[in-house]
Structure 1
Amino acid sequence: MTSSNTDQDLEHSEALARTGFWGRRGAGAIVMARSSGRVLLAHRSLQVEQPSTWGCWGGAIDREEDAVAAVQRELQEEAGYEGAILETIPLFVFRKDAFSYENFLIVIDDEFIPSLNWESQGAEWFDIGLWPSPLHFGLAALFADEPSISAITNARDLR
């Protein structure tokens, strides 16, 4: 781990103590395979906040990143995805006090089998609207946001 990563982890940890969220800003994504129209969700491990809930792929935005770069990095780190991204569509932004979390829909060509890190205990592809339970509170808020559901549905219908 470099000094820069250590410094950022310290900042993220301090933010967790202050706000209850890892970092000052975060970003995450659900992934849709254009070929099937299904969405990949992560089943959160017992070692993270809100364990055993279904969520998106994401985390804190590092100093040198924008939200889209953070989402792409997190998708590679947490799901092992290194393929082409066809579209990155902005969705619901969760805000609480000084914390914000930007959500995106990442559209790829085909479903893949994720290579998970310690943050997830599983992953599964779901049809839109047939969501698993329990959902992470952030993902539940995303799925309750009509403009986000409309954007997800529209992306699926373009296949």
Structure 2
Amino acid sequence: MTLTFEEQEALHRQAKAETGFWGRQGSGCLVYARDTGKYLVQLRSEEVLQGGTWGVWGGAVDHGLTPEENALAELMQETGFDGEPELHFLVDFIDEASGFRYRNFLAVVEQEFDPILNWEGEDSLWCEIGDLPDPLHFGLEYLLSRIPNPAQHLGIATSPALK
């Protein structure tokens, strides 16, 4: 069964009322550029939950999508990226009180790109893992508290020019 956009939004609003989160589960990705060894983060707009914080690209998992499919779709919607990144699972955030789950991935791209932001983001920044801007979204803080350097943790090589 395919749901309309309006039906999806109604389900997400209901979940927010019940859990405090947009949707019952979410997924997203931190982007890593192999050519520079930098990570791409976005400054969340005031139109979304936790606006004014720097975080990953993602959102509520829509009906019929896997968390992986959703993370890639959100990346495309929120940045305009049209390539095929390598997607690697990192960690799940689980809110014990509500049961909400957010699946975090690392999306590896060959080179940095200029994101085309939609209404969900105010700004974006490519930066080294030690130079992330403040304040971080609580979800990105959670991810980094478990995996401080995701690309290194996964053994992802940078371009030869960086070695």
Same fold (TM over 0.5): yes
Give the SS at the match of 1:75: helix
Asked if structure 1 preserves the Cα contact closer than 8 Å seen for 2:3 and 2:63, the reply is no
1:74-132: CA deviation from partner (whole Å, max 9, x where unpaired): 001111110121x2111121101310000000001100000000000000001022211
Q: What letter corresponds to residue 6 of structure 1 in structure 2?
A: E
Counterparts of 2:3 and 2:30 in 1: how far apart (Å)?
31
Q: What letter corresponds to residue 126 of structure 1 in structure 2?
A: C
Match of 2:132 in 1: 131
> Following superposition of structure 1 onto structure 2, how do residues 1-159 of structure 1 map, counting pairs within 5 Å?
4-85=4-85, 87-96=86-95, 97-145=98-146, 148-155=147-154, 158-159=157-158
Deviation at 1:3, TM superposition (A): 5.7
Asked if structure 1 preserves the Cα contact closer than 8 Å seen for 2:38 and 2:128, the reply is yes
Give the SS at the match of 2:77: helix
Q: What letter corresponds to residue 38 of structure 1 in structure 2?
A: K
Asked if structure 2 preserves the Cα contact closer than 8 Å seen for 1:37 and 1:156, the reply is no
Judged with a 3 Å threshold, the aligned counterparts in structure 2 of structure 1 residues 3 and 95 are, in CA distance, closer, same or farther, namely closer
Give the SS at the match of 1:122: strand
Q: Which stretches in structure 1 are left out of the alignment for 5+ residues?
A: none
Judged with a 3 Å threshold, the aligned counterparts in structure 2 of structure 1 residues 109 and 155 are, in CA distance, closer, same or farther, namely farther
Counterparts of 2:33 and 2:129 in 1: how far apart (Å)?
12
Counterparts of 1:110 and 1:103 in 2: how far apart (Å)?
21
- Taking structure 2 as the reference length, the TM-score comes to 0.90
Judged with a 3 Å threshold, the aligned counterparts in structure 2 of structure 1 residues 90 and 32 are, in CA distance, closer, same or farther, namely same
1:2-46: CA deviation from partner (whole Å, max 9, x where unpaired): 962211110001001111100000001010011111000010011
Give the SS at the match of 1:149: coil
Counterparts of 2:43 and 2:124 in 1: how far apart (Å)?
5
Q: Which stretches in structure 2 are left out of the alignment for 5+ residues?
A: 159-163
- Taking structure 1 as the reference length, the TM-score comes to 0.92
Asked if structure 1 preserves the Cα contact closer than 8 Å seen for 2:129 and 2:149, the reply is no
Judged with a 3 Å threshold, the aligned counterparts in structure 2 of structure 1 residues 150 and 115 are, in CA distance, closer, same or farther, namely closer
State, as a whole percentage, how many aligned pairs show the same letter.
40
Judged with a 3 Å threshold, the aligned counterparts in structure 2 of structure 1 residues 98 and 154 are, in CA distance, closer, same or farther, namely closer
